[in-house]
Amino acid sequence: MSEIRCIGILGGGQLGRMLSAAASRLGLRCHIYEPGAAPAGDVAHALTTAPYDDEAALRAFAESVDVITYEFENVPTSALDLLESIRPIRPNRRALAVSQDRLTEKTFLNGIGLATAPFADVPSERDLADAVARIGTPSILKTRRMGYDGKGQVRITDPEQLEWTGAPSVLEGFVEFSAEISVIIARAADGQVAAFDPGLNVHREGILRSTTVPCGLSGKVTTDAVLIAARIVNALDYVGVMGIELFVTPTGLIVNEIAPRVHNSGHWTQAGCAVDQFEQHIRAVAGLPLGDGKRHVDVVMENLIGEDMDRVPELLTSPRAQIHLYGKGEARPGRKMGHVNRIA
């Protein structure tokens, strides 16, 4: 067994909550560090509520755990510098640096021979017109940092429509694709890799609504997707679970983005696999053997967003629905409140 007994998690949202629950099944404790509201604190062994510039709190947190991981990418560099001086961070800092910045991410992916949408760096508003002239329209302007679930993005449908995001950005050309899929893959410190089946994703208004497994695509497409995912985690010397979103196009797979953590599109694994993505991540960062990720049943995962919470009483009566609620307070529009895994 691993010598690790307590795992520190940066971020206290639903992913940290489910990581903590998975760790508890393996007899491990989790300590959450979160500046704001922390649903994960309801199920974790310990919770520190402090900002990321509180050096004393960061130091005490790091000294209380054996290894540190994270449930979201945008942890300030200064906090990571301090934490890493005390305890190892898994996945590593390179994976964070690549994924925190869309320009760095796309440059990295191209550098290891993987296709992305055409893109241009747009460091300031005055550079936008030149970028649009190069990439064309329709295109989408995305902030280099911090954007998620459709935030920090502007669709540009006409060369005269030059709306600015307000921050250094990347302009991406639109990709004609027939489907979006995602691969959830894990890599251990010894290089062992285990991937879950690719899932078919459906988004609305920039937010993932559902993931269906199996994805219904050819064996060649799913095999290529897993090979791409493996290339990425190996290139980063990665330890933990990563989510990789890909577009299916007539000329092959294009990488949309990577997430160096457990991922929304991997929630189906809770109902479809003996070892789900959360346990897989805990195993990897704690130095335990990986599970094989084999799927034993077909699953459709649906996010419960905002007023979808009104459907929970009905969902509770469904015999083949596995419900996960995140313990959040107000069900605001666009806010992920939970998800349901329906077993086919």
Same domain, 337 and 242: yes
- 220 annotated ligand binder: no
pTM score, whole prediction: 0.94
Same domain, 194 and 323: yes
* Residue 158 banded pLDDT, cuts 50, 70, 90: confident
Query: End of a domain among 136, 155, 173?
Result: 173
Q: Is residue 61 part of a domain?
A: yes
Same domain, 210 and 269: yes
- 173 annotated ligand binder: yes
CA distances from 165 to 105, 124, 329 (A): 19, 9, 30
Q: Is residue 302 part of a domain?
A: yes
- 272 annotated ligand binder: no
Same domain, 197 and 238: yes
Same domain, 168 and 42: no
**Left, alpha or beta for 214 (phi > 0: left; psi -120 to 50: alpha)?**
beta
Distance CA 242, CA 15 (A): 13
- 175 annotated ligand binder: yes
% of the chain exceeding 90 in pLDDT: 88
Same domain, 328 and 216: yes
- 203 annotated ligand binder: yes
Q: Is residue 99 part of a domain?
A: no
- 238 annotated ligand binder: no
- 25 annotated ligand binder: no
Q: Is residue 72 part of a domain?
A: yes
- 176 annotated ligand binder: no
- 52 annotated ligand binder: no
pLDDT digits (tens, 9 = 90+) for 73-101: 889 999 999 999 999 999 999 999 999 99
For 276-332, give the secondary structure using H, E and C.
CHHHHHHHHHHCCCCCCCCECCCEEEEEEEHHHHHHHHHHCCCCCEEEEECCCCCCC
pLDDT digits (tens, 9 = 90+) for 241-251: 999 999 999 99
Same domain, 269 and 300: yes
Same domain, 249 and 223: yes
Same domain, 151 and 268: no
Provide the number of structural domains found in the chain. Answer: 3
Same domain, 200 and 304: yes
Q: Is residue 59 part of a domain?
A: yes
CB contact at 8 A, 44 and 25: no
- 155 annotated ligand binder: no
More confident residue, 1 or 291: 291
| 115: helix, strand or coil | coil
Q: Is residue 103 part of a domain?
A: no
Does residue 260 have a pLDDT over 60? yes
Query: What is the structure's pLDDT at 338?
Result: 97
The domain in which residue 157 lies consists of 118-173
Query: What is the structure's pLDDT at 319?
Result: 94
* Residues across the chain: 344
- Tokens matching residue 112: 């290891």
Same domain, 23 and 154: no
Same domain, 317 and 200: yes
CB contact at 8 A, 293 and 337: no
Query: What is the structure's pLDDT at 231?
Result: 98
- 90 annotated ligand binder: no
Q: What is the mean pLDDT of residues 15-33?
A: 98
- 150 annotated ligand binder: yes
- 148 annotated ligand binder: yes
pLDDT digits (tens, 9 = 90+) for 106-154: 999 999 999 999 999 999 989 998 999 999 999 999 999 876 655 678 8
- 237 annotated ligand binder: no
- 142 annotated ligand binder: yes
